[in-house]
C-alpha cells in the first residue's frame, strides 16, 4: 500500500480513503491485489504497470541449490579456512590538514620501489608493508566519497585515521569527518599531523577530542592520538603500528578459498583497456578468468593489475586491484562478485539493467522518513529515528539537538548523527542516505541540486522556520499522528518577476501576488519549479516606495525574507500561517 501510494504520488491516507470507497479495507502496511491497485491508480489518473517478472531472475543458485544474490552469498566454511586479512584504512579530516601528504609519506617510506619497467599507477588504493604485515590504504578524496560508498552499501573501511593539524586543531570538516566515521561504526585513530611546526599544540587537539566525546588514551580514554609529521616522517611508524594493533583487535578474517566479493573504488573507460574498475577485494580471491557481475555490468576478468602496476594472476582478501574486462563502467561503491559462468553473469546483468529502467520510471518508497516511522510505530516496533540537523546559527543547532535528545523514550530513540550550521548540502544527503536518516533544516536553504539527489537517494528533507513546529512534527510522528499539513492555512502565492541589483550590492526582487494576500510575518516557502528551497518568514513588504503590512492579489510588491535572498526570476513563494492546534489531550 505504501509503495502504491508512493508510485502514484499520493499520501497514504488519501489512498486508504479511496480504497475504502471501493470497499477495500487496507492499512498502510497491507498489500492490495494488483487489479485493485490498477483501478485505484486509474482513479488518480495514472496507469500502473505491475511487474510480474520472477525475482529469481536476479538471483543465482548457490551450491545447495538455493537462489541467492551472488553478492549476498554466504559460503560455508570452517573456522580453520578463515585467514587473517589486512586492515583497509581510510584517511579523513579537514582540508589541508595533511591527508595526502601523510599517505604520500607512508608510500615513499614503506612501499618497496617498483621494479624496473613496472609502471606505477594509481588504482585508488595502495598496499604498505611493516614488519611482514600489510595495510591497505584507500585514497579517499574526502568523507563525501567515503559516505557515498557507504550509502551504496559498501562498507570497505575497517579503520579511519582522522587527520588533525596540530597548529589548527579541530575544524568544521574534522567534525563532519568524525560524524561520518562514527556513522560507519569503525574504530578511529587520530593522527595529529604537522607536529614539526613551532605552533603545534598537541594538548589542544586532545581537548578538542574530549569535547567531541572522543576520549584520548593519554587522558584515560580509548582513542589513540598519535603525533606525526608528514614533512619530517616522524611518528609514521607509530601510526602504522597502532593501525596494526587496532586491526588485531578487530580480528579481521576472510576465506581466500572463496570466490571473490569486492567493492568498486573508482572506474573509468581507458584507452586500450576498455572499462576498468579499481576494486578492493573484501572476501575470497579474484582470479583472471573469473566470470564477474558488478551492478548491471558483467564480464570475464581479462587481467588484474596491482597497486604497483604489475599484472597479477589473482588478488586475495583486502587487496586493491584494477579489474579489466567488465562490460561497462560501474559507480563507486558497487559490489562485484564472482558468478559460476559468464552466461549466468550476463543474464543477471541484463535482468538488473531492465530492472533499473523500471526503477527510474516509478518512485521508490522513502528509505527513512517520518511516514515510515509512523507506519513502523503503528506496527508496535521499537524505533530508532536518525536525524541530521542543519540550522542557521550555532545556538539553534544546539537547542534543536538538545530538545531532540530529550524526546528519546524507551519506545523510540532519536539519534542526531550530524549537526552543523549552514545550508543543506549533497554531503548531508549522502550521510543521511548511508545511515537511513532524515534531514531537518531550520532557517536554512537547500543547495541547488540537493533536492534531486535527496529524491534519488530516498532521503526526506524537512524544512522548518520555528523550532516548536519541528519538535511537534517529531512528537506527532512518535505518537502516531502525522498530519502536519492540517495546521497550515494558505495565505498567498507570490511569483518573482524580476531581480534588481542595487549599487550597494544588495538585491531587491519585484514580485506579483497571484493569489490571496501577502502579509508581513507570514511563513514563506520558496519554490523553484517543484523544488523547495527555503522555509522561513516574510520580514518586510514594499509597495511602490512604502513599507506595507499587506499586499493583495494582483498587486506588485517587493518582498524580503529572513535569511534567504538567492531568488531567481520565476521562483514562487507560498505564504502560509500556522493555525493554533486544538488541545489534543
Ligand atoms: P589534505 O588537504 O588534507 O590532503 O592536505 P595536504 O596533504 O595537501 O597538505 C596541505 C598542506 O600542508 C601542504 O602544503 C603540505 O605541504 C602541508 N603539510 C602536510 N603535512 C605537513 C607536516 O607534517 N608539516 C608541515 N609543516 N606541513 C605539512
Judged against a pLDDT cut of 50, whether residue 584 lies above it is answered with: no
Q: What is the pLDDT of residue 363?
A: 35
Q: What is the C-alpha separation between 524 and 538, in angstroms, rounded?
A: 6
Q: What is the pLDDT of residue 59?
A: 45
Q: What is the pLDDT of residue 193?
A: 97
Inter-residue contact 173 to 94 (CB < 8 Å): yes
Q: What is the C-alpha separation between 280 and 319, in angstroms, rounded?
A: 6
Instruction: Count Cβ neighbours within 10 Å for each residue of 459-477 and write b for 16 or more, e otherwise.
Output: bbbbbbbeeebbbbbbebb
Residue with cell 589486512: 86
Q: Using a 6 Å CB cutoff, which residues line ligand 1? A: 93, 95-101, 193-194, 196-197, 229-231
Count CB neighbours of 313 within 10 A.
10
Query: pTM value?
Result: 0.61
pLDDT higher for 90 or 23?
90
Inter-residue contact 335 to 281 (CB < 8 Å): no
Q: What is the pLDDT of residue 111?
A: 65
Q: What is the pLDDT of residue 352?
A: 84
First CA to last CA distance, the chain = 30
Correct CATH for 261-362 of 2.40.30.10, 1.20.1560.10, 3.90.1300.10, 1.10.3720.10: 2.40.30.10
Residue with cell 579481521: 252
The confidence band for 361, taking pLDDT boundaries of 50, 70 and 90, is very low
- Cα 157 to ligand 1 centroid, rounded to whole Å: 23
Q: To test the ligand 1 pocket, which listed residue (91, 92, 94, 96) has its Cβ within 8 A of the most ligand atoms?
A: 96
- Cα 108 to ligand 1 centroid, rounded to whole Å: 15
Helix or strand holding residue 146 (H, E) = helix 143-151
The confidence band for 582, taking pLDDT boundaries of 50, 70 and 90, is very low
Q: What is the pLDDT of residue 250?
A: 93
The secondary structure of residue 90, as a DSSP letter, is E
The minimum-distance atom of ligand 1 relative to the CA of 228 is 23
Q: What is the pLDDT of residue 28?
A: 61
Superfamily of domain 370-480: Translation initiation factor IF- 2, domain 3 (3.40.50.10050)
Q: What is the pLDDT of residue 79?
A: 64
Domain residue ranges in the chain: 2-43, 81-254, 261-362, 370-480, 485-581
- Cα 310 to ligand 1 centroid, rounded to whole Å: 30
Inter-residue contact 304 to 321 (CB < 8 Å): yes
Per cent of the chain over pLDDT 70 is 75
What are the tens digits of pLDDT across the range 103-113?
A: 889 887 776 54
The top-scoring range by mean pLDDT among 195-204, 214-223, 569-578 is 195-204
The confidence band for 114, taking pLDDT boundaries of 50, 70 and 90, is very low
- Measured over the CA atoms of residue 322, residue 327, residue 329 and residue 334, the dihedral's sign is negative
- Per DSSP, the three-state class of 79 is helix
Domain 81-254 has CATH 3.40.50.300: yes
485-581 and 81-254 share a CATH fold: no
Inter-residue contact 420 to 390 (CB < 8 Å): yes
| Three-class DSSP labels, 199-234 | CCCHHHHHHHHHHCCCCEHHHCCCECEEECCCCCCC
| Three-class DSSP labels, 225-283 | EEECCCCCCCCHHHHHHHHHHHHHHHCCEECCCCECEEEEEEEEEECCCEEEEEEEEEE
Q: What is the pLDDT of residue 480?
A: 58
| Among 185, 161, 186, CA closest to 174 | 161
What are the tens digits of pLDDT across the range 389-425?
A: 998 888 788 888 888 888 777 767 788 888 888 889 9
Judged against a pLDDT cut of 90, whether residue 292 lies above it is answered with: yes
The confidence band for 118, taking pLDDT boundaries of 50, 70 and 90, is very low
The secondary structure of residue 388, as a DSSP letter, is E
The confidence band for 366, taking pLDDT boundaries of 50, 70 and 90, is very low
Domain 485-581 has CATH 3.40.50.2300: no
Judged against a pLDDT cut of 80, whether residue 72 lies above it is answered with: no
Q: What is the C-alpha separation between 377 and 369, in angstroms, rounded?
A: 12
Inter-residue contact 202 to 192 (CB < 8 Å): yes
For the chain, the average pLDDT equals 80
Q: What is the pLDDT of residue 583?
A: 34
The pLDDT of 577-582, averaged and rounded, is: 60
The CA-CA-CA angle for residues 448, 452, 454, to 5°, reads 105
What are the tens digits of pLDDT across the range 122-153?
A: 788 888 888 889 999 987 656 666 777 776 66
Q: To test the ligand 1 pocket, which listed residue (162, 230, 238) has its Cβ within 8 A of the most ligand atoms?
A: 230
The pLDDT of 433-439, averaged and rounded, is: 85
What are the tens digits of pLDDT across the range 221-267?
A: 999 999 999 999 999 999 999 999 999 999 999 999 888 999 998 88
Q: What is the pLDDT of residue 573?
A: 92
Cell digits of residue 430: 549522502
The confidence band for 6, taking pLDDT boundaries of 50, 70 and 90, is low
Judged against a pLDDT cut of 90, whether residue 210 lies above it is answered with: yes
- Cα 229 to ligand 1 centroid, rounded to whole Å: 9
Q: What is the pLDDT of residue 322?
A: 95
Judged against a pLDDT cut of 80, whether residue 289 lies above it is answered with: yes
What are the tens digits of pLDDT across the range 543-553?
A: 888 889 999 99
Judged against a pLDDT cut of 90, whether residue 459 lies above it is answered with: no
For ligand 1, atom 27: residue with the closest CA: 194
Judged against a pLDDT cut of 80, whether residue 386 lies above it is answered with: yes
Q: What is the C-alpha separation between 207 and 428, in angstroms, rounded?
A: 26
The minimum-distance atom of ligand 1 relative to the CA of 105 is 20
Q: What is the pLDDT of residue 439?
A: 92
Judged against a pLDDT cut of 60, whether residue 350 lies above it is answered with: yes
The minimum-distance atom of ligand 1 relative to the CA of 229 is 23
Rg (CA), the chain: 27
What are the tens digits of pLDDT across the range 147-179?
A: 777 766 677 899 999 999 999 999 988 998 898
What are the tens digits of pLDDT across the range 28-68?
A: 655 666 667 777 677 666 656 554 443 333 444 443 444 45
Amino acid at each position: 500500500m505504501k509503495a502504491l501510494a508512493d508510485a502514484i504520488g499520493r499520501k497514504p491516507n488519501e489512498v486508504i480513503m479511496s480504497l475504502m470507497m471501493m470497499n477495500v479495507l487496507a492499512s498502510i502496511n497491507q498489500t492490495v491485489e494488483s487489479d485493485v491497485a490498477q483501478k485505484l491508480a486509474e482513479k488518480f489518473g495514472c496507469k500502473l504497470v505491475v511487474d510480474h517478472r520472477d525475482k529469481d531472475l536476479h538471483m543465482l543458485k548457490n551450491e545447495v541449490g538455493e537462489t541467492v544474490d551472488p553478492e549476498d552469498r554466504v559460503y560455508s566454511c570452517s573456522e580453520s579456512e578463515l585467514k587473517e586479512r589486512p586492515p583497509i584504512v581510510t584517511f579523513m579530516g579537514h582540508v589541508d590538514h595533511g591527508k595526502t601528504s601523510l599517505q604520500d609519506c607512508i608510500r615513499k617510506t614503506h612501499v618497496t620501489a617498483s621494479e624496473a619497467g613496472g609502471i606505477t599507477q594509481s588504482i585508488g588504493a595502495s598496499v604498505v608493508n611493516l614488519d611482514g604485515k600489510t595495510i591497505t590504504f584507500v585514497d579517499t578524496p574526502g568523507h563525501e566519497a567515503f559516505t557515498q560508498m557507504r550509502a551504496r552499501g559498501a562498507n570497505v573501511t575497517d579503520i579511519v585515521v582522522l587527520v588533525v593539524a596540530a597548529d589548527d586543531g579541530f575544524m568544521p570538516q574534522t567534525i563532519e569527518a568524525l560524524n561520518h566515521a562514527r556513522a560507519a561504526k569503525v574504530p578511529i585513530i587520530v593522527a595529529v599531523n604537522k607536529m614539526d611546526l613551532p605552533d603545534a599544540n598537541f594538548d589542544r587537539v586532545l581537548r578538542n577530542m574530549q569535547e567531541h566525546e572522543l576520549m584520548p588514551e593519554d587522558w584515560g580514554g580509548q582513542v589513540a592520538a598519535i603525533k606525526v609529521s608528514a614533512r619530517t616522517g616522524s611518528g609514521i611508524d607509530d601510526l602504522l603500528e597502532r593501525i596494526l594493533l587496532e586491526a588485531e583487535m578487530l580480528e579481521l578474517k576472510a576465506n581466500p578459498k572463496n570466490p571473490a566479493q569486492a567493492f568498486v573504488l573508482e572506474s573509468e573507460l581507458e584507452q586500450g583497456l576498455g572499462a576498468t574498475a579499481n576494486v578492493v577485494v573484501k572476501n575470497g580471491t579474484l582470479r583472471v578468468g573469473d566470470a564477474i557481475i558488478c551492478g548491471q555490468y558483467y564480464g570475464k576478468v581479462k587481467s588484474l593489475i596491482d597497486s604497483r602496476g604489475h599484472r597479477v594472476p589473482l588478488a586475495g582478501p583486502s587487496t586493491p586491484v584494477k579489474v579489466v574486462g567488465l562490460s561497462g563502467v560501474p559507480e563507486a561503491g558497487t559490489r562485484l562478485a564472482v558468478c559460476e559462468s559468464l552466461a549466468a553473469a550476463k543474464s543477471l546483468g541484463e535482468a538488473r539493467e531492465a530492472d533499473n529502467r523500471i526503477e527510474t520510471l516509478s518512485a521508490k518508497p522513502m528509505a527513512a522518513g517520518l511516514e515510515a516511522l509512523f507506519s513502523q510505530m503503528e506496527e508496535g516496533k521499537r524505533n530508532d529515528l536518525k536525524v541530521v540537523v542543519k540550522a542557521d546559527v550555532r545556538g539553534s543547532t544546539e537547542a534543536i539537538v538538545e530538545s531532540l535528545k530529550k524526546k528519546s523514550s524507551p519506545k523510540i530513540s532519536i539519534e542526531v548523527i550530524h549537526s552543523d550550521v549552514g545550508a543543506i548540502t549533497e554531503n548531508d544527503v549522502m550521510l543521511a542516505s548511508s545511515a537511513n536518516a532524515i534531514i531537518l533544516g531550520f532557517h536554512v536553504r537547500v543547495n541547488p541540486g540537493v533536492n534531486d539527489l535527496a529524491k534519488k537517494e530516498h532521503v526526506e528533507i524537512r524544512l522548518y522556520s520555528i523550532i516548536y513546529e519541528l519538535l511537534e512534527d517529531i512528537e506527532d510522528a512518535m505518537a502516531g499522528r502525522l498530519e502536519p499539513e492540517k495546521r497550515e492555512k494558505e495565505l498567498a502565492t507570490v511569483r518573482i518577476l524580476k531581480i534588481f541589483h542595487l549599487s550597494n550590492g544588495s538585491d531587491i526582487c519585484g514580485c506579483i501576488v497571484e493569489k490571496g494576500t501577502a502579509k508581513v510575518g507570514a511563513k514563506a516557502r520558496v519554490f523553484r519549479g517543484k523544488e523547495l528551497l527555503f522555509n522561513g518568514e516574510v520580514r518586510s513588504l514594499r509597495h511602490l516606495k512604502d513599507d506595507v503590512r499587506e499586499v493583495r492579489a494582483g498587486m506588485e510588491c517587493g518582498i524580503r525574507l529572513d535569511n534567504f535572498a538567492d531568488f531567481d526570476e520565476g521562483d514562487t513563494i507560498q505564504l502560509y500561517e500556522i493555525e493554533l492546534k486544538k488541545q489534543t489531550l
